[in-house]
Amino acid sequence: SAVISQKPSRDICQRGTSLTIQCQVDSQVTMMFWYRQQPGQSLTLIATANQGSEATYESGFVIDKFPISRPNLTFSTLTVSNMSPEDSSIYLCSVGADTQYFGPGTRLTVL
């Protein structure tokens, strides 16, 4: 399985600001995924990011709020824009095809 790292591991941000989360994989992968895990809840897919194309967003998630970059086959970023306390969650990236492997997550608190 791939080794996945995320930065930052945690952050506390003020309302109205933006945070960019980085995801780095130790091998080249076609598809990367971004999930949100709200407090006490399960994982919800935000978007799928393929290298060289626009990310595909799930219902309820929009590019203006969660812009994603995928500049190469080992790296992706997710930005959480114009944050509100409701954005306080763990954000996780994953890679894989029929199974997925997850990074350690970024714990975001918005005040």
Partner 1 sequence: QKEVEQDPGPLSVPEGAIVSLNCTYSNSAFQYFMWYRQYSRKGPELLMYTYSSGNKEDGRFTAQVDKSSKYISLFIRDSQPSDSATYLCAMSDRYGNKLVFGAGTILRVKS
Q: Which of 57, 61, 75, 102 binds partner 1 (CB under 8 A)?
A: 102
> Least Å distance between CB 86 and partner 1?
19
Residues 58-87 that bind partner 1 (CB under 8 A): 58
> Which sign does the torsion angle of CA 45, 72, 11, 87 carry?
negative
Q: Residue 32 CB, nearest distance to partner 1 (Å)?
A: 11
Of these, 14, 39, 42, 111, which contacts partner 1 (CB under 8 A)? 42
Of positions 74, 103, 108, 110, contacts partner 1 by CB under 8 A: 103
Our CA angle for 97, 73, 49, nearest 5°, is: 60
Q: How far is the CB of 17 from partner 1 (least distance, A)?
A: 23
Report how far residue 94's alpha carbon sits from residue 48's, in angstroms, rounded to the nearest whole number: 10
Nearest to 86 by CA among 6, 35, 13: 13
